[in-house]
Amino acid sequence: MHSPALTLDPALLLAAQPVRIVFFDVDGVLTDGGLLYTESGETLKRFNTLDGHGLKLLQKAGITPAIITGRDSAPLRTRLQALGVQHAVFGTEDKLPAAERLLAELGLDWSQAAAMGDDWPDLPMLVHAAFAVAPANAHAEVLARAHYVTTRPGGQGAVRELCDLLLQASGRYASLLAPYLGSAT
């Protein structure tokens, strides 16, 4: 049986072990932060498929992805529905109360929460979360408060990087990878 190619710092994995829910911002985290508008004013968003698969894998591992975003758009709702993400709060700049409502609803607390954001509106969630994460291209104030900074920027695999870390921390990474390797394991 082949070992997974991905290896991470044991101290980092230990810090991420208690995580059962992850709060994600959208613009600058699940997307590259750019906003594209059509002539009719419709907003277009570009999502990374690596990130999407990571969110699906989190759910298989029993870790809940939750979206808390200051914007609301049909493309975002469509993408989250396709990924099976059930917990999302749209159009809120005050993210901390939204996160606390979701924690209460799921019977969890901040000691079991990770948060990933890139800018000031995400800071309240990041400073409360047991495991705060920033994409490589986040604002300096966010980077300074993150327990982990991804090597990839938002919208370009940063979310997947966090998902893989959490899957390894949960002990589920290898078992989720094995079916993709088939007889090569």
Q: What's phi and psi for 31, nearest 5 deg?
A: -125, 175
Q: What is the pLDDT of residue 2?
A: 66
For 38, left (φ over 0), alpha (ψ -120 to 50), or beta? beta
Q: What is the pLDDT along the chain (185 residues), one digit of tens a residue?
A: 567 888 889 999 999 999 999 999 999 999 998 888 889 888 888 899 999 999 999 999 999 999 999 989 888 999 999 999 999 999 998 999 999 999 999 999 999 999 999 999 999 999 999 999 999 999 999 999 999 999 999 999 999 999 999 999 999 999 999 999 986 54
d(CA 41, CA 62): 38
pTM beyond 0.85: the answer is yes
Q: Look at strands 64-68 and 43-44 and give their pairing.
A: unpaired
Closest CA to 149 of 132, 173, 164: 132
Q: What is the pLDDT of residue 178?
A: 93
d(CA 165, CA 25): 18
Q: Give Cα 49 distance to the centre of its chain.
A: 13
d(CA 86, CA 90): 12
Q: What is the pLDDT of residue 6?
A: 87
Q: What is the pLDDT of residue 166?
A: 98
